[in-house]
Structure 1
Amino acid sequence: MRRLTGGIAATLAGTALVGLSLTGCGASAKPASPSPVAAIEHVTPSRPAKPEKLDRSPPMLLSIPRLGITVKPTRLGLRPDGTVEVPPLDRPEEAGWYSRGASPGERGGAVILGHVDGRGKAGVFHKLHTLRRDDTITVNRADHTVVTFAVESVEQVAKSRFPAQRVYGDPGHPGLRLVTCGGTFDKATGHYSDNVVVYARSVTTGAGKG
């Protein structure tokens, strides 16, 4: 995960499935296979699936204490060509929530994307690959609830084999997926070869301030 210019988080091409296959950053636009090529950390979930399921509410603040990250996610939608928007490359400190999917705390896989770097600067998710099982992620929502997620696994996958169903499918509980780029940076194309995906599930909900 080198600090190089031009590494963008990802774009997504819609498919007929619930999930979307990750494309862009030099990846094929074809639907991806769900098979990962490399697991940074992957464990079988053992935590009971009994988190509180909340109604839909946009994320207002994302915090990852161990990485010192606090960011206000923007809303991402679809471009006219059917690919998912990503935060601007000239603002790599931003993260964006895919607003056509679940919101954090709802049942489903809420997805937040961020750059690993851009324009010679480290991106908001530059150190995402260093997260480990049980690290916490908190999301403050517009309805003043706060959802705490615990990391279950971190994976590095080739973009041509992006696990779309696992990332965008319904896990049966409120889940959170953080996505950025990783692997080898190709100076010729300006893209990374892989994606890093963090899988987390909600463990507590509570009332926020304000």
Structure 2
Amino acid sequence: MPQRITIAGRRAACAAAGVLLTGLLIGACGGDGTPTVRGSASSPPASAAQGTLKEAPPLAESLPETIKIPKIGVSAPVGTIGLRPDGRIEEPPLSRPNYTGWYKEGVTPGEAGPAVILGHVDANKKAAVFYRLKDLKPGDLIQVSRKNGSVATFAVERLQSVDKDAFPHKKVFGEQIDYSSLRLVTCGGAFDPSSGHYRNNIIVYAKLVQGV
């Protein structure tokens, strides 16, 4: 397990780094496929009425291993990503389109604070793991299986589409909160053929509603 700093220290480091999400700029403008659905019979419902979802207390630290989003057919491994030497965030490899990356300088999903998982919208002219992220609605559930055997279940609170030049780094990576939040990030908006990148980022904000 990599050397970790305290939760407060990690939050401060995230906010101070001014993380640039250029690692998520994707040249390929695919969309001719969808992620494979690999849910289990014991999975909870894909969504629930938002009014019935209650915030769950934070969990202890444990590394994420897989992420499932039943509503949009996502079942994917979670690896770790950090910062490159130039201060920009690393990206999940385009050679593995069904692969996500947890930002390892932040808290683990389920801990108090904002945990961040990134994934591509498309790769090699085909849909990637977060291709349908924009289709999520408040109340949809996200399950993160963790190394200690627990599963942190989050409910979507809201989605945000922002210009990459106005990405809210401090809020996504370094917001000072005492509850467990998960943020999923991918590319979105219009594709700019001149730069070979999408103009926006899609951000999903979710809160912990169950940890077992």
Q: TM-score range by the shorter chain?
A: 0.7 to 0.9
Compared with structure 1, are the counterparts of its residues 163 and 172 closer, same or farther at alpha carbon in structure 2 (3 Å cutoff)? same
Asked if residue 131 in structure 1 is aligned to residue 129 in structure 2, the reply is no
Alignment deviations for residues 108-162 of structure 1 (CA, whole Å, 9 cap, x no partner):
1100000000111111000000000000001111111111100000111001111
8 A Cα contact 1:104 1:175, kept in partner? yes
TM-score, normalization by structure 2: 0.76
Alignment of 1:53-132 (within 5 A): 53-132=58-137
Shift of 1:163: 1.3
1:163-204 Cα deviation digits (max 9, x unpaired): 122211233210000000001111121111000000000011
On the 8 A contact 1:116/1:125 being kept in 2, the answer is: yes
Cα displacement (A) at 1:87: 0.7
Counterpart-to-counterpart distance in 2, 1:187 and 1:59: 35
Structure richer in strand, relative to its length: 1
Distance in 2 (alpha carbons) for counterparts of 1:47 and 1:89: 38
SS of alignment partner, residue 17 of structure 1: helix
2:152 partner letter = V
Cα pair 1:49 1:173 within 8 Å, conserved = no
Matched, 1:17 2:15: yes
Amino acid at match of 2:15: L
The separation in 2 between residues aligned to 1:69 and 1:149, in whole angstroms, is: 14
Asked if structure 1 preserves the Cα contact closer than 8 Å seen for 2:106 and 2:114, the reply is yes
1:116 is aligned with what amino acid?
A: V
Contact 2:55 2:207 in 1 (8 A): no
Which residue, 188, 195, 208 being the options, matches 2:201? 195
Unaligned 5+ segments in structure 1 are 1-13, 27-44
What SS does the corresponding residue of 2:20 show, helix, strand or coil? strand
Q: Is the 8 A contact 2:114 2:172 kept in 1?
A: yes
Distance 2:179 2:16 in 1: 15
Please report the RMSD computed on the Cα atoms of aligned residues, expressed in angstroms. Answer: 2.3
Specify the SS of the correspondent of 1:160.
Answer: helix
1:35-84 CA-partner distances (Å, limit 9, x unpaired): xxxxxxxxxx9888752211211101100011111111111011111211
Does structure 1 conserve the Cα–Cα contact (< 8 Å) formed by 2:114 and 2:181? Answer: yes
Q: Which has the larger share of helix?
A: 2
Aligned equivalent of 2:177: 171
Query: Using a 3 Å threshold, how does the CA distance of structure 1 residues 19 and 199 change in structure 2: closer, same or farther?
Result: farther
Which whole-Å CA distance do the structure 1 matches of 2:52 and 2:179 have between them? 12
Identity %: 42
Is 1:73–1:96's contact at 8 Å kept on the other side of the alignment? yes
Aligned residues: 175
